[in-house]
Copies of this chain bind each other. A is one copy, B any other.
């Protein structure tokens, strides 16, 4: 049972949790309605249909994350610090919206996504790409395709985050620092 101030938010956060846990296709509108504490018909007052709901949620959280990432990005600082900012952003965003990044990842090539969702997602990838490109230019990041580097950082982080969410791992400061170091080791150029 969601306890958001307004019904729209309640629907969105309930749907997010269910989409992340069961997947978009295994989640029914009545499930969302029950979890959000609203009638099934109410969902259609806020979203044209299930597909639109899925896309809206995908984009909404993606945009929040992208903003989190861009907000205060230390372009002038060292690559390592920039990396730290990215990592911290992931942590912060995940703390606020525990299921959002996982939902985005597991559905980033889902059949129901529309053009706008795809390009929103591309926007996120581009930010990361820029970072890696500048890092490679400065000989601080490995000469791997950016897509590969993104895959490593993104894949590793999210798999970890899944373990935390499932209670198999405790997200203590020490662990997070170690994980950050580990991922950094993966992408940085060892001299």
Contact = CB atoms under 8 A, between A and B. Distances in A.
Interface string A3-26: 000000000000000000011111
A67 interface: no
Contact of A152 (B110, B143, B186): B186
Contacts of A162: 151
Contacts of A182: 142, 144, 148-149, 152, 186-187
Interface in A133-157: 142-145, 147-152, 154-157
Chief secondary structure at chain A's binding surface: helix
A129 to B, nearest CB: 12
Contact of A178 (B144, B156, B159, B163): B144
A20 to B, nearest CB: 11
A106 interface: yes
Counting contact residues on chain A (CB < 8 A from B), the size range is: 35 or more
Q: Which of A111, A145, A162, A178 has the most CB of B within 10 A?
A: A145
Interface string A90-103: 00000000000000
Given A23-B23, A142-B182, A147-B169, 15 more contacts: A23-B111, A25-B25, A25-B26, A26-B111, A142-B181, A145-B175, A147-B163, A148-B169, A148-B175, A152-B160, A155-B156, A155-B157, A156-B156, A183-B186, A185-B185
